[in-house]
Amino acid sequence: MLASYVPIDWQKFLSFLEDRRPGLPNKIHGASPADLEALRRRSPVPLPENYLGFLRHFGGEDGGFRVFPRHFYLVRELLHEVIQDPLGWDPSRCLLIGIMESRDCEDPHDLFLDLSQADATDAPLVGLDPDPEEPNAECFPIAPSLADRLIIQIAWRLVDRPKKAKARLVAFGNPSSKGTAVPHLYRELVSVAEKLGFVACVSATSNTWMGRQGRETFALIHASQECDLAAMDLCGDDPIPIAQVREVVEDLGLAEPMSVLPD
């Protein structure tokens, strides 16, 4: 059964971007209708709506804020750089949305949407390194959907860093629950955050939620079926609300604190 994906509220994304980086949305531009149509004609399959929305708002000029810093993802970059004779991937199954700027790195991979698990709204984001010497290379998961990745790549990166206080709380699922434990833990963590006064900053999905309490206290909650866990990352300028959230979550037995690496 395919996942049910959520449309992105782009105005909410842009409003949060303006709030965190005043003036930046005026520098970021969407792709032109002509370039979008050219990309559509090149694709053998319809483009998911969230991807189209992303290109309409972020696919023309990056304004100095690269959503995918290691990849070419603007429409004109894709039209110019896209591989004409794909090796190692099926364009009817995997939609190429990002090409690695340099393969001289530890983990070279291009970005694709897995159309075998897509609906008209979105699809899982996967990575693959097309290699003529390994034509049967396997995709590996990056995010449950493009929307999930964008919440982190656009919204979470906009939080000013370094913050004075940080915490990570992790809840591990039960392998015997047949996939129901992690979604339940995720919903419980979101519910606790909302009860503590956190308000969603951008669109949420069934796997990723980001909220803010006051001006500078943030929570990112995400679920990972691959790792069988749900996690809550907290950061803020004031350690008191961070400690309060930790105490509530721990007292409820929802998650345990884990170490957080410094910036």
Q: State phi, psi for 142 to the nearest 5 degrees.
A: -115, -45
- How far is it, in rounded angstroms, from Cα 235 to Cα 216? 8
What torsion, rounded to 10 degrees, do the Cα atoms 35, 76, 201, 173 define?
110
Q: Would you state the pLDDT for residue 1?
A: 37
The CATH class that applies to domain 10-151 reads alpha beta
Cβ contact 145:111 at 8 Å: no
Q: State phi, psi for 131 to the nearest 5 degrees.
A: -135, 120
CA 100 to chain centre: 17
CA nearest 41: which of 29, 33, 49?
33
The pLDDT tens digits for 56-73 are 999 999 999 999 999 999
Residues 6+ apart with CB under 8 A from 39: 31, 47, 55, 75, 78, 79
* Residue spans per domain, the chain: 10-151, 160-258
**Topology of domain 160-258, CATH:** Double Stranded RNA Binding Domain (3.30.160)
Query: Is it the case that residue 168 has pLDDT exceeding 90?
Result: yes
The rounded mean pLDDT for the chain is 88
Q: Would you state the pLDDT for residue 128?
A: 87
What share of the chain has pLDDT > 90, as a percent?
Answer: 69
Q: Would you state the pLDDT for residue 93?
A: 85
- pLDDT band of residue 175 (cuts 50, 70, 90) is low
Query: Is it the case that residue 260 has pLDDT exceeding 60?
Result: no
